A = this chain, B = another copy of it.
Amino acid sequence: VDPDVLAKLRAIVGERHVLVDPDLTAGYSVDWTGRFRGSASAVVRPASTAEVAAIVRICAAGRSPLVVQGGNTGLVGGSVPMAGEIVVHLGRLDHLEPVDTVAAQVTVGAGVRLALLHEHARLAGLAFGVDLGARDSCTIGGMIATNAGGINVVRHGMMRQQVMGIEAVLGDGSVVSHLSGLPKDNTGYDLAGLLTGSEGTLGVITRARLRLVPRYDERVTAVLGFADVKAAVGASGHLRRRLADLDALELMLAPGIALVLGTDYASAPDALRAPAVLLVEVAAHLDPTDAFASVVERLDLAAVPLVAIGSEQRARLWAIREGHTEAIGRLGPPIKLDVSVPIAEIARFVAALPAVVPDGAGLVVFGHLGDGNLHVNVTGVLRSVANEGGGPPPVLPPDATVESIEHDVLTLVVAHGGSISAEHGIGIAKVRHLTMCRSAEEIAAFRAIKRALDPHLILNPSVLVAGT
């Protein structure tokens, strides 16, 4: 980086919040999976929106590209400085304002971690509508920038549906701030919605006004077993329509469950050993057990439903679902593809998948059936690389096979009317695949918007609309 730029950045945030020593910047230069490793020319840690704005103005004037980083828990490389960019790390923007219980909203800094927001809302008698596995690390700013999803989308929607207002610094350093959080406010274009999911390419989100949802204390968690994916999908439509209080609707298949349970699989209850399994959660103010039972008795199940009794059993059922990632990881690094498929096509898509996976590779599919979101994991293809010395994990080996498998799976997704990215975004990982599901006209519109809000093309330049 230009020493003059560095000096200016130090003047803004203070000496100790500009890191240039490679030992210090290394941790900001790689994603947690180790797949994306770059090299930050500097890491800047602002503590306020005004500081972020000053940083962006310096970068804009110097045409110095920057990458915005929150919890760095993404899976597509969207917060990694692959081309030596300056990393603007927002962890210090961690102010959590008091909950506005009348509006059921809260204003938070971009650097607030999800688990803290959950706790904050809970103490006020409310809840936050998005939850996901990385809750202890991921930040609200990053979740907005990537329009994060997770396990409760079927009820509350993705991050975009939670964002009532945003404060952000655009690519020219101007600050747009609209945090009144009014549910109805038709006074111009929806900048908040546009910035949500823009993966740091249009503006640096510094604060947000979020809606909160009721805290439901009565829950039913159950496992339903079906003869095949088609039967599970059919039941999911019925459950979504008849259960207004449906909180989660997760699909697991026998290979994944067997992998998670290991030797315990043979003795597991019948519902868990069905070919296709739904993990269903209903949450309400009043005990939803009867409503749930009356809906379930009309389903064509392959086994007696397994209903959790008490929070411990509930946690055990969820552990099977959340244990998939770790169990898959034990087979060596997988090829992970996060995709959407229209619900009506899911059974056909899952049936067609094995044909596009190489002989000898493993295939584990699971996901958020309520949203048509599948996580496709191809195992046994990548070499397992030991993580030596406890440092950041190494880069996975480049492998033409990986590219071709990714391409074949995504081609199948698109052939079934699906999307190549459901909740993880495009990042760096899928830039080359974007044309598979977006037309030249749409990409031209994206680029026009990019140039409108980031005229010097300094924000996350390798991401999403790279090459603008």
- Enumerate chain A interface residues (CB-CB to B < 8 A): 100-104, 125-126, 146-147, 149, 153, 157-158, 160-161, 170, 174-178, 180-191, 193-194, 196-198, 202, 214, 216, 233, 237, 240-242, 244-245, 284-286, 291, 340-344, 368, 371-373, 417-426, 430, 434, 437-439, 441-446, 448-449, 451-453, 464-465
Contact = CB atoms under 8 A, between A and B. Distances in A.
B421 A185 contact: yes
Contacts of A174: 441, 444-445
A141 B452 CA distance: 26
Contacts of A430: 187
Contact of A186 (B100, B285, B426): B426
A190 B197 contact: yes
Given A188-B426, A188-B434, A190-B193, 15 more contacts: A101-B237, A102-B343, A103-B372, A104-B240, A147-B186, A182-B418, A182-B419, A184-B340, A186-B424, A187-B426, A193-B193, A244-B285, A285-B291, A445-B452, A445-B453
B417 A180 contact: yes
B175 A422 contact: no
A182 B437 CA distance: 12
Nearest to A76: B186
B437 A187 contact: yes
Given A214-B241, A344-B100, A419 B190 contact: no
B186 A194 contact: no
Contacts of A424: 186
Contact of A445 (B176, B183, B240): B176
A191 B423 contact: no
Contact of A451 (B198, B344, B452): B452
Give the secondary structure class of A's interface. Answer: loop
Q: Which residue, of A182, A198, A443, has the highest number of chain B Cβ atoms within 10 A? A: A182
A103 B419 contact: no
A422 B187 CA distance: 8
23 contacts: A100-B344, A102-B342, A102-B343, A103-B344, A104-B240, A158-B183, A170-B441, A174-B441, A184-B371, A184-B373, A184-B422, A186-B197, A186-B426, A187-B434, A188-B464, A190-B193, A190-B197, A214-B244, A244-B245, A244-B284, A244-B285, A445-B453, A449-B453
Nearest to A125: B241
A125 B161 CA distance: 25
Q: Which 7 residue pairs of A and B lie closest in terms of their CB atoms, listed nearest first?
A: A448-B452, A184-B422, A452-B452, A193-B193, A182-B340, A185-B419, A102-B344
Given A153-B183, A176-B445, A188 B438 contact: yes
B420 A189 contact: no
Nearest to A425: B186
Contacts of A417: 180
